[in-house]
Amino acid sequence: MKRRSFVGKTLIGGFAALVAPKVLSANENKSFSKIHTPPKGPVSICTWSFTAANAAAAKALESGSDALTAAIKAAEVEELNAQNTTVGLGGAPDREGTVTLDASVMDHTGNCGSVVAVENIVHVAALARDVMEKTPHVMLAGKGAESYAKTLGYKHTDLLTTESKKEWEEWAKESQYKPIINIENHDTIGTLCLDKNGNIGGACSTSGLSYKMKGRVGDSPIIGSGLFVDNTIGGAVATGMGEEVVKTVGSFLIVELMRQGHSPQEACDEAIQRIVEKQGDTIDFQVAYIALDKQGRVGSSCIHKGFTYMHYENGENQNFEVKKYIHS
């Protein structure tokens, strides 16, 4: 899959949200200003340049949906996008040629749900919510999660597309695995929303690392690593090399730093620095975070340049390139 286009124009319901004709730098984003003007309405942010996904969240928020419902709407757009080889339908398979999906959700009450290593189900973010709301559990895995989905009426879908299968077959000729910085073998969609009632919710959805070992689980379905929300403070989501996020419980760390008085930007920077300090000078993987607090302030940081995120606020749906990175 080619690196995503960072420009476009999105129509949200009855009003137009223009994506900027260039990728803006984060320091052009007023949410990074020391003098912060609270948003006049809801806010939605998501990892990478998932323009249509963030627009779907914005449309839901402007229509009065709660934050979690809006975040799941964003995930569903990419889960159905067969051209995205890192989420949902068309996701890259594991080493044995099987596509497995992970997802997590968390709402403003502190409830959470997740699913791990799910086959044959496209909308795993919605399934994670069903686990949260309809079972006594937080996490369901593998065949158990798939079986539960089918009892709820989820459609059985072969997730391995012709294109993804061809790419896997080509990879299998040598079977060499090496993560490539900012290439779509680990681009989770993580979304955080602030709704009209001032509540925050979030969702993550991914097919995980391309050609991972069978049974591998990254950070995305792990509450506190790939996603964490505390409605009194804010929320954070991660993307990139999940193993490194898990080692530092990254999203929980960011929210706790915000609880201590750090801004979302400061908290994201510190979380990235924790990873870098453990790795030394040579870091051949990417990790990135975005965060949103109750005042609508946004933060973002990453190890290497190239990470972008979407930000909807006051009718504008824009893509920002993160300038806070450790390695060039």
CB-based contacts of 203, cutoff 8 Å, min separation 6: 68, 71, 72, 74, 75, 103, 104, 105, 106, 125, 128, 190, 191, 227
3-state secondary structure of 298: strand
Number of Cβ within a 10 Å radius of residue 287: 28
Spatial separation of the C-alpha atoms in residues 304 and 261, rounded to whole Å: 26
Number of Cβ within a 10 Å radius of residue 159: 22
Residue at token pair 């999906």:
101
Q: Of the listed 188, 191, 248, 308, which one is catalytic?
A: 188
Q: Is residue 188 flagged as an active site residue?
A: yes
Q: Determine phi and psi for 205, rounding to 5 degrees.
A: -150, 140
Per the rule left: phi > 0, alpha: psi between -120 and 50, beta: everything else, 264 is alpha
Nearest 10 degrees: Cα torsion 263, 264, 268, 271? 60
Spatial separation of the C-alpha atoms in residues 283 and 38, rounded to whole Å: 37
Spatial separation of the C-alpha atoms in residues 112 and 185, rounded to whole Å: 26
DSSP string, 155-191: PP-----HHHHHHHHHHHTT------TTSSSS--EEE
Active site positions, annotated: 188
